[in-house]
């Protein structure tokens, strides 16, 4: 399962957001380092297509796709040198697929700490960059020595030098202008600032109107710095970073309401629409270039995650490795077409279910059944 790590300064609202996303009971409290050990939970990926297919098939069970969320302890200036919880959080970040920066933008006299999200961003980026610098410097020295004997290290050496220059300026690698090949060469070092980033700007409950403005302000930080630094590099920041503003406190309160109608009424009452958590999870999902295929039947309808570009057998493997090993064919139809026809059997009778082979590249929203032989 793909993993998201919540990273930010103390009191930014990470644990509150974690609770809202996972329905968890992590301690959220107005003092620094309320979280010492990471909380790990599962957030489901909302998907209207699944709900409608389940309704069509009268499925007894509905299983959403899910992502794992890790609430990591607060990070402070000097963390890379051992301040606060020190390097403990770094190990936790190394294990995630994407990083969620939680930046505080709410004012509250009862909650200590700065409330300027740009200041939060600066500290978070600097600490992560310094941690990466340590790793890169070490490897660079080693690679320089080795490259005297081994010429094949030239490209890696170049990548390390570009990385080293950016990190020495306190600039994270997602805006260092690295090419895709250079990124791949650095992948074995599990660097922190090569991960994709989702930014959550946490605005106050009286500041909901300012959400678009808060989002634009943070996005501009990434955009400008990205353009200047990468000089039109193929790794645009847009595909690596996305920014979402929300009031975590209100979203968390809404999330505790179990009755969906009541919850929708509360969100509507505050003008929050479907709520920001849905938007956030969907956006996190897309950031990692993940897609969904669906299976549906009277027993179960289910959403499955796959990496964009996966073939039919690879998708089958998400369900069971046997399905991939013994893959013969996939029966495929787009979810909308299936829904319009009204049932899998009818679609089959009308010849609307396609038979696809092992080279078929799965599309988002495909409804599939696999034929296999083990
Ligand atoms: N007013 C207001 N308070 C908030 C908001 N979000 C979080 N808080 C409060 O801020 C305090 C800190 O929130 P947490 O979720 O514990 O923050 P954290 O980032 O997990 O903090 P650490 O674990 O110490 O790093 C709690 O008392 C929350 O209730 C918000 O949007 N508005
Ligand atoms: Mg916390």
Distance 272 CA to ligand 1 centre (A): 20
Separation of alpha carbons 203 and 111, rounded Å: 13
Report the nearest atom of ligand 1 relative to the CA of 10.
Answer: 25
Q: Are 77 and 127 in contact (CB under 8 A)?
A: yes
Asked if 344 contacts 57 with a C-beta cutoff of 8 angstroms, the reply is yes
Residue of 6, 10, 16 to mutate, ligand 1, most atoms within 8 A of C-beta: 16
Task: From 49, 63, 56, select the one nearest 346 (Cα to Cα).
Answer: 56
Among all bound ligands, the one having the nearest atom to the CA of 7 is 1
Determine which residue's CA is closest to atom 7 belonging to ligand 1. 13
Please, are residues 137 and 160 in contact by the beta-carbon 8 Å criterion?
Answer: no
Other C-beta atoms lying within 10 Å of the C-beta of residue 274 = 11
Q: Which two three-digit tokens encode residue 30?
A: 């107005």
Using alpha carbons, list the distances in angstroms from residue 328 to 143, 302, 312, 344, 372: 46, 21, 10, 20, 5
d(CA 196, CA 100): 9
Full pLDDT tens readout for the chain, 374 residues: 889 999 999 999 999 999 999 987 788 888 887 888 889 999 988 888 999 999 999 999 999 999 999 998 788 888 777 777 666 677 788 888 889 999 999 999 999 989 999 999 999 999 899 989 999 999 999 999 998 888 888 899 999 999 999 999 999 998 888 898 999 999 999 999 988 899 999 999 999 999 999 999 999 888 744 333 333 333 345 567 889 999 999 999 998 888 889 988 998 998 888 888 888 988 888 888 999 999 999 999 999 999 999 999 999 999 999 999 999 999 999 999 999 999 999 999 999 999 999 999 999 999 999 999 98
Element (H, E) at 244: strand 241-246
Q: Which of 6, 7, 11, 204 to mutate to test the pocket of ligand 1 (most atoms within 8 A of CB)?
A: 11
Nearest protein CA to atom 31 of ligand 1, as residue:
249
């Amino acid at each position: 399962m793909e993993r998201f790590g919540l990273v930010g300064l103390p009191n930014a609202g990470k644990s509150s957001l974690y609770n809202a996303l996972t329905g968890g009971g992590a301690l959220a409290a107005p003092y620094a380092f309320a979280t010492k050990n990471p909380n790990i939970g599962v957030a489901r990926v909302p998907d209207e297509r699944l709900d409608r297919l389940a309704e069509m098939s009268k499925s007894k069970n509905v299983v959403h796709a899910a992502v794992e969320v890790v609430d990591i302890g607060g990070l402070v200036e000097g963390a890379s040198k051992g301040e606060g919880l020190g390097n403990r959080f770094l190990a936790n970040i190394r294990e995630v697929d994407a990083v969620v920066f939680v930046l505080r933008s709410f004012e509250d006299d009862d909650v200590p700490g700065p409330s300027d999200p740009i200041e939060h961003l600066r500290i978070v980026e600097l600490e992560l960059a310094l941690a990466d610098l340590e790793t890169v410097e070490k490897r660079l020295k080693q690679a320089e020595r080795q490259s005297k004997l081994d010429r094949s290290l030239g490209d890696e050496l170049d990548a390390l030098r570009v990385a080293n220059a950016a990190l020495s300026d306190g600039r994270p690698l997602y805006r260092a202008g690295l090419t895709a090949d250079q990124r791949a060469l650095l992948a074995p070092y599990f660097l922190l600032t090569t991960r994709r980033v989702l930014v959550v700007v946490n605005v106050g409950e009286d500041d909901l109107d300012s959400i678009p403005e808060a989002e634009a302000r943070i996005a501009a930080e990434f955009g400008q710095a990205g353009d200047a630094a990468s000089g039109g590099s193929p790794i645009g920041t847009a595909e690596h970073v996305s920014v979402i503003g929300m009031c975590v406190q209100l979203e968390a309160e809404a999330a505790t309401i179990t009755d969906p109608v009541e919850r929708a009424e509360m969100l509507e009452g505050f003008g929050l629409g479907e709520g920001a958590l849905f938007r956030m999870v969907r956006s996190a999902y897309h950031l990692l270039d993940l897609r969904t295929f669906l299976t549906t039947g009277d027993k179960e309808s289910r959403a499955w995650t796959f990496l964009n570009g996966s073939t039919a057998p690879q998708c089958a493997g998400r369900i069971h490795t046997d399905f991939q090993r013994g893959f013969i064919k996939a029966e495929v139809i787009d979810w909308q077409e299936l829904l319009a026809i009204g049932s899998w059997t009818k679609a089959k009778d009308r010849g609307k279910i396609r038979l696809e082979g092992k080279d078929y590249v799965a599309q988002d929203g495909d409804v599939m059944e696999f034929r296999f032989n083990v």
